[in-house]
A and B are shown apart, each in its own frame.
Chain A
C-alpha cells in the first residue's frame, strides 16, 4: 500500500486541440512521478481548445510544481486549480448490475429513484444504470448497489468548472 493520499486537487487545463498535446501532459506526470487519480478530456466552446480535468494528489509543494510544469507546456493555454473555490464538479457513471430476482429488481429501481439514476438498458437479468453527480454521490450509489452484484462499471472521471456571478467567474 502506498501511503495515504494527500488532499485531492481538481485542476482544469485548457490545451490546444493538437496531436501530441495530450501526450505531453500525460508524459509530464509519468516523467516527474506525479499521480493522476482521474483524467477527463473533451471539447470546449472553442473548437481549437480541449478542456482537461485532472484530479491529482499531493502536498502543496507537489501541486504547485504540477501547476507550474503544466503552465510551462507550450500547448497549454490556461491552468486552474479549482480546489477550495466555488465550482461545479460532476461525474458520469454507467453500471451494469445483476437483477435476477424480483427483490433485486425492486431494490435497483428504488435506489435509482432515490439517487436520480436512469435505467438505460434492460435485459432478462441485468439493468444498466446511469448516474450523474459529484464524486461522493457516485461513491455512495456504488456502495449501495454493490450487494446486487456489479457486472461491469465505467466512470468518466470528474469534469469541473468555476461558478460564475453576474457573468464573472470566481477566480
Chain B
C-alpha cells in the first residue's frame, strides 16, 4: 500500500494535474513541500518576491490556457501573493495558489508567521480551502484545479498547515485520476438556452447597425474563430476590450480596435450609433462604457456570458444568454446561416454600416505627432510591432505604457497580450513576461513598461537572469508617473503632485549589475537599432531604456463620467471633417 506524506501527495497530485511549472518562494511552513519538490519533474521557478510568483502564474495561464500555479509560505508569503491573486481574480484567470500555514494546533494563537490566509483571500478568490486533515488533501487539490479552470475561471487558494503536510496517508494515482469532482452548489451552465440563441440570431440578421463587443471571456473559452466567422458572415464590425486584444487580428478590416476610455474613435462611435450591441464575454466595465446611460443608447443588447451575475449587472440586457462563448456562438452561427437564406437583403444594409465604421477608422486612427527630435513613446511601440511582425507576446504594466501598447502594437494572435485589466496593478508586466517566457521558451516576450511601474517588481531581473529567460523590457521612460501626470494636467490645473520620478536608477547599469543586458536610446534614430540588438539576444533578459517625450498624453481620451462620443481626440495634422456617414 503506497503511504505518502502530505508533501509527497501534494507533489504527486500536481504532477497528475499536468503541472509543469510552479512559481514560488520557500519558507518555514512549506519546507516539507520544497524538500519533495526537488525530486519532482515539476520545474520550480524561484522568484524574488511572492507577488511576482502570483503574477507569473497568472501570465502562464493567460498564455497557455492552463491553470497557473504558485506557492508561498505562511504569513508574509501569503500576504505578498495577494496583489497578484487579485489581478487574476479581476480578470478571471485560472490560478491555484498554495500557501503554507502554521500547524493546525497553533492556528488562532497569533503564531510566528501566522495570518488568516483564507480570510484575507476570500474576497479575491473564486474559492479557498484550509486543509485541516490529511485525508482531505488530495480531494481538495483536485477540487481546486477543477474550480479554477471550469465555468468562469478564477483563483483558488489552498492553505496547507504544516502538520497536515507532514502526516501520512494512502494515495493512489489511479484513484486520484478517476475521481470525479461533484459540488452540488456549482454547476456552470455552458450550453446556452436554444430559444434565446434563436432570438439573438434573428435580432442579428435583422439588424442594420450591429456591433460585436468582445471581452476576455472570448479568450477564456477560445472562441476567437467563432467571433471572426460571425463578423465575416454578417459584415459586423468588431471591437474588443483590453482583455480581448488579439481575439481578432489588428489588421482585420472588420476590426475597429479597442473601445472605451482610450479606445478608437471608430469603436466608440460605432457603439454610440449601433442598433444592436452584441456583447460576448464582456462585463461592461466602467473603463469601457464611460457614462453608462449613453453607452449604446439606441441598441438592443444581447449579452453572452458564462456568469449569470454579469448579465444585467451594469447595463440592462434585452436578450441574455448564459453559457460558454464558444458553444453558444457555434449554435448561433448555425441559426444565423439558416436565417440568412430567409433574409438575404439585410446584408446590404450592414455592408453600408461596416463601410461607414471603416471610414471612421481611416479618418481618425490612433495617432501621434511624430518627431525627429525626441522619442515618442508611441513610436517605440510601433517599431516594436514592426520589428517583431506583430507576433511577440506583449505584457504591459499599467498606465500610459499599457494604453500605448494596446493602441499601437499590431497584434496578430490571441493569448499574446497580457495586461492587468480589471485591477490595474502596476508591476504586473515584468513578472508576467517571466511567466509567459517560461510557458513559451521560443517566443519573443516583451514587457512594455513605464519607468514607474517597472520599479515595482524590478527585483525579478534576478529571476530572469537565473533561468536564462530572454525577456525584453522596453521602458518608455518619461520620468513621470505618466497617466497620473496626464490626469493632473487635464483635471488639476497641471498641479503635478508627487508624480515626478526625478530620482531614478540608471536602468542600463542596473540591468548589468543583475547580469542582464542594458541598452539605451535617447534619440529617435537610435530606437530601431536598440530594438534589433535586444531581439538578437536569446539567453538573457534585456532592458531597453527609451528616453521619451516627457509630457505625451494618451489620446483619444474619454474623461471619466463622460459618454464615449465625448472623447478628446489627438490633434490630427490634416483636419478632416467628420461626415455623417450613416
Q: Which residues of A contact B (CB under 8 A)?
A: 15-16, 19-20, 23-24, 27, 31, 61, 64-65, 68-69, 71-77
Contact = CB atoms under 8 A, between A and B. Distances in A.
Given A20-B128, A64-B312, A74 B122 contact: no
B334 interface: no
A23 B122 CA distance: 9
Given A76-B185, A77-B184, 13 more contacts: A15-B185, A19-B130, A20-B128, A23-B119, A27-B122, A65-B313, A69-B309, A71-B308, A73-B185, A74-B126, A74-B127, A74-B183, A74-B186
Contacts of A74: 126-127, 147, 183, 185-186
Nearest to A48: B184
B308 A72 contact: yes
Contacts of A20: 118, 122, 128, 130
B560 interface: no
B226 interface: no
B50 interface: no
A64 to B, nearest CB: 7
Interface size bracket, B side: 10 to 19
A147 to B, nearest CB: 46
A130 to B, nearest CB: 35
14 contacts: A15-B185, A19-B130, A20-B118, A20-B122, A23-B119, A23-B122, A24-B122, A31-B123, A61-B312, A65-B313, A68-B308, A71-B309, A72-B308, A77-B184
A67 to B, nearest CB: 9
Nearest to B308: A68
Contacts of A68: 308-309
Interface string B389-428: 0000000000000000000000000000000000000000
Interface string B185-198: 11000000000000
Given A23-B119, A27-B123, A69-B309, A75 B128 contact: no
Nearest to B132: A19
A77 B313 CA distance: 22
A72 B128 contact: no
A20 B122 CA distance: 9
B185 A75 contact: yes
A72 B307 contact: yes
Interface string B289-316: 0000000000000000001110011000
Contacts of B183: 74
Nearest to B310: A68
Contacts of A75: 185
Contacts, number: 37
Interface in B470-499: none
A72 B127 contact: no
A24 B183 CA distance: 17
Nearest to B128: A20
Contacts of B307: 72
Contacts of A65: 309, 312-313
A74 B309 CA distance: 13
Nearest to A66: B309
Contacts of A77: 184-185
Contacts of B308: 68, 71-72
A31 B122 CA distance: 11
Interface string B336-351: 0000000000000000
Nearest to B129: A20
Nearest to A28: B123
A68 to B, nearest CB: 4
Nearest to A21: B185
A26 to B, nearest CB: 10
A77 B119 CA distance: 21
A76 B184 CA distance: 8
A20 B128 CA distance: 9
Contacts of B130: 19-20
B301 to A, nearest CB: 15
B171 to A, nearest CB: 23
A37 B557 CA distance: 42
Contacts of B123: 27, 31
Nearest to A14: B185
Contact of A72 (B122, B147, B309, B312): B309
A15 B186 CA distance: 12
Nearest to A72: B309
Interface string B177-217: 00000011110000000000000000000000000000000
A104 to B, nearest CB: 47
A76 B127 CA distance: 12
A23 B186 CA distance: 18
Identify the 9 closest CB pairs spanning chains A and B, nearest first. A68-B309, A77-B185, A74-B127, A72-B309, A74-B186, A76-B185, A69-B309, A77-B184, A31-B123
Given A68-B309, A69-B309, A74-B127, A16 B185 contact: yes
A68 B307 CA distance: 9
Nearest to B311: A68
Contacts of B126: 74
A133 B356 CA distance: 66
Nearest to A79: B185
Contacts of B119: 23
A27 B130 CA distance: 18
B67 to A, nearest CB: 16
B549 to A, nearest CB: 41
Give the one of B123, B185, B186 with max A CB within 10 A.
Answer: B185
Contacts of A23: 119, 122
Interface in B116-165: 118-119, 122-123, 126-128, 130, 147
A138 B296 CA distance: 49
Contacts of B127: 74
Nearest to B309: A68
A61 B308 CA distance: 14
Contacts of B122: 20, 23-24, 27
Nearest to A20: B118
Nearest to B316: A61
B209 to A, nearest CB: 27
Contacts of B312: 61, 64-65
A168 B127 CA distance: 34
A25 B128 CA distance: 14
A134 to B, nearest CB: 30
Contacts of A72: 307-309
B155 to A, nearest CB: 12
A76 B307 CA distance: 15
B146 to A, nearest CB: 11
Contacts of A64: 312
A166 B244 CA distance: 52
A111 to B, nearest CB: 44
Contacts of A73: 185
A2 to B, nearest CB: 23
A52 to B, nearest CB: 13
